[in-house]
Structure formats: structure tokens, C-alpha cells
Amino acid sequence: MHSAQPSVAEARRLHGQLYDMLTQSQYWSADRMAAHQRGQLAHLLRHARATVPFYETRLDAVLGADGEIDWDRWHEIPVLTRADLQTRYDAMQSGASPPGHGEIMQSRSSGSTGQPIVTSQNALAALAASSATARAYDWHGIDVARTHVCVFGDDPQVGAYPDGLLHEPWGPPALRTGAPGRQYDLNLAASPDQALEFIQRRRPSYLSGLVTRLSVLAHEVLRRGLDIRVEAILPFGEAVSPARRKLFDDAFGARTIPFYASQETYRIAHACPMADHYHVNAELMLVEVVGDDGRPAAAGQPGRVVITPFYNTAQPLIRYQIGDIATASGNDCRCGRTLPVLGDILGRIAHMFRLPDGRPILPNISDDDVLELGAEIWQLAQVAPDRLEFRYVPGERAGDEDRFAQRLKAQLHPDFEIAFRRLASSDFQERRKFIPYLCELA
């Protein structure tokens, strides 16, 4: 059942109200934020039990028959998995959306960890995410009256070279206060040469796209000595290492402003403007970093990311494990904002390697070692229980593969056999969503 879709004017008003709230709530005390989150969660839990078959008994540990909530038992709610979303889609749909939550749309994930996931999301959730994006753009001084080029999209008929697809205006509605800016989308079928010609012709202030795709373009700019200047790189799809930030600065003279998101949950966190970590959009969702026991991981320790979005009532995702490993770092930040802090986004659970003795490990190669090898773009894959393959695009200065292999063994396990495969940048061009660490074991 769809609730009434708000008019354009009403949607802009709601967006403005959410944006105004977020500019204030980023400084709330921890107690006030916790009270806000519990209020939103209470509405979501009661709605899910009443209207979603999947949650009819799933919330019993926390939600009593009288509607009262035992918050001390929150972690007894079973974690929701990608397999649940794939196999229980129909049972997870709400039979009655609350008034004003808007049109229900479907979103499809990229399927980088296997089978893609389809979820239902209502317009209010998208509106809230757009408001959080507006706040982050404020943090970093992003001006939506300027030109933006986005290199992304799998459909070869949409955003095709040489014209691309024009959006005018672009950006969150709350920030559209002056002349409309232009966004040009260029799909992933464009070659690096075509993409660079497109960027030179459109002369954007902002350039966004998958991290590895933008890295390929950056290396081409440096190799060919092109003069392409942009104000900021807005990368997504992968974690951004310090080496990648330096690459974007060297190639484009640009600062890097990443964000953390998923198709299922929208914008999770945005980069702090003053520190090298992320601030969680805690007004819109509960983000937990948990250990194997489902309890909160200690500050600075890695754990699984579990998310409960507040505003998606079309298909509630309560304690959804999105498949990432990250570190939580508390709430303290020198920027003055009190929003929870996420440290490093370490990788995907599904891409963890298995040591020859069967233990799981999350690989993490140092940027210095990769630079010494001279690898521009790279991927480390586990292709057998005792064998790894390092696939890379070599730069102009070739490094010592034997030395690099010994360092890999020292970091991961001495019994691993290391093979190398040199590739052209076009081989990585074909990857729609690049995965730096890939476990190919069955």
C-alpha cells in the first residue's frame, strides 16, 4: 500500500525542515541524541510488528505485547542478513505505510558480494538522506550552483559519450538558492580517453565516481601531462586510502571528500571536514559496530557494521548487517560536532581471506609497499587455500615483485604462494565496482 505522495512544494518544505533540524542536531548532547533515536526506533518497531509479517514474532525479546520496549535487550534482536533480504523479500514488505511517507520505490544493489539485493524504500527515507547530504555539503563548502560531472552508470544508453546526461539543477533542494548548477552523467562504457575529453569539455568543479575508475583517470592525467583542475573529488564505492587522496591531489589539484553509503540504507556517514574519519547520520539511523557476540565492539576495535534506518517504513531493516567491517571511535571530534564517529571502513566480510589453517583474516596492504612496487591500480585475490594472486597495472617505475611477495607473506601468512599478473588499465575499466581484496574460494 502506498501512502500519499507529497507535492513538489511539500517535499521541498519537508526537506528544508529536516535540513534545519540536522544543522542543529549535529551538536546535540549524547543523551539528547539517544532519546531521539529511541523515539524513532519505538515507532519503527511497533510499525514493523503490526504491518510486516517477517517481524510478527522476531522482535519479541524487546517489544512486549503491551507495546513497551526493553532497551536493555536490544542486542537480542537477531541480526538481519543479506540472505534474509534475498529469500524473504515478500514477507518483509509493509502492508500499510504511515501517512506522508510517500511513494514506494525499489532499489537494487550492485551485487559486488554476489547476488544483487532488491529493497523497497519510501520517499521520506530518500528525502532524509538528501537532507543529510546537504548538511555534509555545507561542511565542505560544496556549491551546487557549480558544475558536477559523475562518471557512473551501467546502462550504455543512459549518459552515453559524447553528450552524457544533463541534470539541471543538481544537489539537495535545500541548497538550491541561487542559479541552477549542472550535473553531467557519463556512463561506465566510456573509455578513459573519452572520459577525460568529456571532463575537459564540461570543466566541472566537482568530479565523482567509483574510486578505482577515478584512479584510472588520474593516472592517465599524470601520464599524459594533462591540465585538468577540479575543486573536489567525491568518490564512492570503496574506501579511499591516503595514497589515493594524494593521487587525486597530484592529478587534479583536488581535495577528496568521501562518504559511506549503501543502496539499502542510503547515506550512512559523511567525511568530517577537519579529521580523517566519518560522522554518522545518527538522527536518521542507528549504526552499531558489533563483535561476534552481537554486542558493541570496543572503541578502536574492528567489528561488523549493523544498521537500522528510521525512516524506511516500506521495508524496515532492523539490525541489518550490511556486510562491512569498520572501527567505531566514540563521539569526540575536534570539529565540535557530537555525531558518532566511524574510523576506518576496513572491508567486506564476504571478501575476507582464509589462512591455510582455516582462520579468517582481513588483508590490508600498506600503501608504501604498493608504491614501492610501482602498482598504479591493483587487486589482491585469494584463488586457492594457499595461493594469492596480485593483479596490477605497473607504472613507469617497476618495483621488485619478489621483495613485495615476501612482505605480503610476512603480513598475511608465510605459507601463501604469491603469483603476479600484470594488466592494462582497460582491464580494470571493465570492472563495474572494483574490489581491492577478493576471495575467490568456493
Rounded CA-CA distance 135/335 in Å is: 14
Q: Tell whether 320 and 384 lie within a shared domain.
A: no
Q: What is the dihedral of CA 93, 94, 95, 99, to 10 degrees?
A: -140
Which CATH number goes with the domain that contains 159? 3.40.50
My answer on whether 247 and 292 are in the same domain is no
Determine the 3-state secondary structure of 437 from DSSP.
strand
| 222 grid coordinates | 599524470
* The domain boundary residue, chosen from 286, 317, 350: 350
Q: Cα angle at 87 between 86 and 91, to 5 degrees?
A: 105
Q: Are 181 and 170 in contact (CB under 8 A)?
A: yes
Of 256, 276, 291, the one marking the end of a domain is 256
Looking at the structure, tell me whether residues 13 and 127 fall in a common domain: yes
CATH number at residue 55: 3.40.50.12780
pLDDT at residue 139, rounded to an integer: 98
For residue 215, give the 3-state DSSP assignment. Answer: helix
Judge if 113 and 96 occupy the same domain: yes
Round to whole Å and give the CA distance between 102 and 120: 12
Give yes or no: residues 152 and 222 share one domain: yes
Residue located via cell numbers 533540524: 21
CA–CA gap between residue 55 and residue 91 (Å, rounded):
9
pLDDT at 245: 95
Q: Indicate the SS3 state at residue 73.
A: helix
pLDDT number for residue 116: 81
Residues 111 and 186 in one domain: no
**Position 150 in a domain:** yes
Span between the terminal Cα atoms of the chain, in Å: 40
Q: What angle do CA 126, 346, 33 make, to 5 degrees?
A: 45
Which structural domain, as residue segments, surrounds residue 396?
352-439
Amino acid at 241: S
Residues 329 and 247 in one domain: no
Of 239, 256, 273, which residue sits at a domain end? 256
Pick out the chain residues at pLDDT < 50.
1-2, 432
Q: Are residues 211 and 250 in the same domain?
A: yes
Helix (H, G, I), strand (E, B) or coil at 304: strand
Does residue 138 belong to any structural domain of this protein? Answer: no
| Tally of structural domains, the chain | 3
Are residues 19 and 103 part of one domain? yes
Report how far residue 416's alpha carbon sits from residue 409's, in angstroms, rounded to the nearest whole number: 6
Angle formed by the axes of helices 211-224 and 192-202, nearest 10°:
80
Place of cell 592517465: 220
